[in-house]
Structure 1
Amino acid sequence: MNVASQSTVFGRRKEPHTVIIARGNEIRHFTIRPWVAAFCGSALAAMAIGYLLATSYLVLRDDLIGATTARQARMQQAYEDRISALRAQVDRITSRQLLDQQLMETKVGELLERQTQLSLRHGRLGPLLERAEGDVGTPPAAGTAASAKPDKRAEVTDAPLQAYAVASLGANLGAGDARPFSLWSTRSDPLPSDTAADRADRLFVSISAALKAIESQQLTRIATLADNAYRNADAISQALEAAGLPVDGDFGKSDAGGPLIPLDSSMAFDSKVRELDETLDALDRLKTEARRLPLANPAPGRSVTSPFGVRTDPLLGTAALHSGMDFRAPTGMPAKVTAPGVVVKAGWNGGYGRMVEVDHGNGFATRYGHLSKIDVTVGKRLNAGDVIGKTGSSGRSTGPHLHYEIRHNGQAIDPLRFLRVGKKVARYL
């Protein structure tokens, strides 16, 4: 009754599975619950899946390891290639900097050597140029040469400053700019076009051009002074020769020859300096000879009342030889000697009246007659322009004037020749 009623209400109950194990006289049985069966099936499925995954991993592991190793090898090779490229670039940069530094050190040495030569040249040129400017006196004939005249002080001061700047730049180039160098070392960009070496090269070129300009100006100045000295010496020599006066016969004349051997700048400078020195010596000799001659006018600005030569005697009215020149001069005007010399006569001398005679050497002497007063004594040494007395009308004279004579070895010479020569060479003396 109870079973029927339960089945009617809940339905038939399903009996659990029972496993019976019989072994001999022993019989064992156990009941399998549904959830236990589900659990065991899930465990078996999980074990099967794990086994399959483990098997797959073991099969594919070698391929994965090989692929990873290959990828790492490729990355390492790429890094090594990059490092090699950077090292090569650093080596190129370092080599270029070393070469640039060596080149600049060489150029700096050359510039310093040239600057030293210019300083030594200036030391030699200073006294020589002062002497030349004092002896020559006239400006250069060519306008370009005159405009190119250098400032001697600038030649010495500017070149050391420029060479010092270049030396400083060359000394600092080895360190370089730390920031650009680090960028060049970590990048594959090419070197910038305007590097420190390029800027230094441009500076070297400008300084070298300036030094060459100074050298050229020095040589031009020396050549210009030598040419002026030659011209002055030629003018003096030609004027003296034209008047038949003694002159150094060896000036400007030489017997020489030989092959042409080109000179470098230092030899050319020495040659120009030696040529200028020799020319100035020759000019000094000519000036010294010319200054010994009575070339000055004894009465500048005064008219000539009686020339040298045959004339009508003012007292007798007959033809007579006039051995000098008469200059109109009032009584008491200072009479000046026309060249340096020694007084050999000072006193009354017949028709000359009060007369002074001055010996100038080389057989030349001058006489100053008809003086009203004598201010020198025999044996006194005189310079050109010294006063020897005062003009007057003493002796055989018709009025106050200055009688002026030039004698060579005792023979009277026309003073007009000397006056003309003196007028020509006065600006050179």
Structure 2
Amino acid sequence: MLTRLSYRINSTLERFLPERRLFLKSDTETRFVRLRPVTQAIALSGSAILVGWTIVATSILLMDSIAAGSTRDQTQRQQALYESRLNALSADRDRRAEEAVRAQERFNLALAEVSKMQEALLATEDHRKELETGIEVIQDTLRRTIAERDDARGQAERVTLALAEQTGSSRTGESRAADTLATLEVLTSTLGATARQRDDLANAALLAKEETETVYQEKLELQARNDAIFSRLEDAVSISMEPLDKMFRAAGLKPDDLLNKVRSGYSGQGGPLSPLTVSTKGASLTPEEVRANEILQGLDRMNLYRMAADKAPFAMPVKTSFRYTSGFGGRNDPFGRGKRRHEGTDLAGAYGSPVYSTADGVVVHAGWSSGYGRLVKIKHDFGIETRYAHLAQIRVDVGQRVSRGDRIGDMGNSGRSTGTHLHYEVRLGGNAVNPMTFIKAAKDVF
């Protein structure tokens, strides 16, 4: 049955693939190999399959190469856009800092003007009180003089009547009455002068009152300008401090604890021993002084934030072109040893690409480490440590103090690695945390 089927297949294929013989000749004999149509068909099919597989594999490789090129271009564009945004944010931060400095200068000038106006107002108020006191004294003297004049007139009339009754002569009484009238005229002129002086003092008091009201209005206008300046300063401090506060909270750090550590680290004081002095004023602060102190405290908090940001790893360890090849957390081991925990982030780039410190700190390890290859460990403040592994070359020494942006090594392929990349770790209190938390938290600030 099988023989008959094979015969029919060969007969059908023989129309297109006639039977061929391959002769093999040696020195003593000649042999041949018969190539039946079925054999030829199988060989042609295998060749076609091989050629087709080669074409498909080549197409896949070309498509992967084209896709890799597009991804690299897109990554470069995103990197350029990211850097331009960082530059814009940095320039905006500098502008806000300059505005805060200028606002502080304007605030100091305004405080000086307020002090001058307050001194002038107090002097005017004292002068007005003195004028009022003088007017009261003059009025009392005038009333007393008028009363004495009336008493003198009554006494003169009584004396005149008494003399007329005793002597029967009115001449002496008339002379004495003339003397009394002359005395009264002198008193009247004196009282008139006193009244004029009183009127002059009243006019001076009225002018002083008008001047006081003018100074008071100027004081109110100055207070309104100061209030506007204070409001702008408070808004500027609040707007500048909010993204910094969010950045630290997003990174899992407590802002108050960080600021207390920075404040304790920058609290040096000193100077020669001087006599103890005690203020005797004891006056309470004005509302303007309270607001000024709150603004100064906000500016001090912003400065402490800036110091803390320099000491925490909020920068990128690689500034050249790269791509993320493995993230933080569980993953399949690249050497095929099952599911393993990955305690950092892998950034693949060109061999020898510069690797930079992401924050201020001290190098505590710079050498070979099992699995890590060439490894650099940097200890930062707040219990933070960063690690830079698989380096091609190390450019720092143990004990060396580095700043953010200092070059510490070159990207390589040392240790347990499948290709050129940087293994970047961030440890908080000895425990590994996701480095992308710090990188993403600083994206809208730096």
- Normalising by structure 1, we get a TM-score of 0.48
- Normalising by structure 2, we get a TM-score of 0.46
**Bigger helix share:** 2
